[in-house]
Amino acid sequence: MAACLVTIHPAQARQPVRPLPYHSRCPTGYVASGSYCLPAKGGNPRGALVKVGRICPQGFMGWGNYCLGTPNNRREAMQKVGNICPQGWSGSQNYCTIATDNKRREAITRVGRGCPTGFKPWGDYCLGSPSQEREAMVKVGRLCPAGWPKFGTYCLRTAK
């Protein structure tokens, strides 16, 4: 299963709405485009992540191969790599979660030995600096979604 994108701008208050890896079909509010499910303009998409196994983390509900944030969710979640979560995140089964009020830096699954520009390695993750103004996601296939320039195995953009 592809790694999940896992960053959020500190001003946001829930799971970020951004492109997801495409798995069979896209969740409600998203449209298929190549290897991605893209947030539909005017489709009122909710923040989501790829489901690991059969259970979604607290604050999320299952929708096919995805976990969608519930309307009152105030947590961000990402797939856990190994037994450890990024600094400041808590482990919960197959996921790492953090209350978005406590989020101080962005985190993304590390691919290989490198991290995207502005991120530093921390175990199996890359952590952004507290003042990080870039969002990053793991690239799916050869291309990044429109508006997300490619940086090696990652896609980057300036946080909105």
Which tokens sit at 116? 């995207």
Residues 6+ apart with CB under 8 A from 59: 69, 70, 73, 74, 75, 77, 97
To which residue do tokens 């069979």 refer? Answer: 24
The pLDDT of residue 158 is above 90: no
Could you give the CA distance from residue 121 to residue 115 in angstroms, rounded to a whole number? 6
pTM score of the predicted model:
0.83
pLDDT value of residue 160: 64
Average pLDDT for residues 42-53, to the nearest whole number?
A: 91
- The SS3 of residue 102 is helix
DSSP 140: B
Residue with tokens 């970020």: 16
For all residues of the chain together, what is the average pLDDT?
Answer: 86
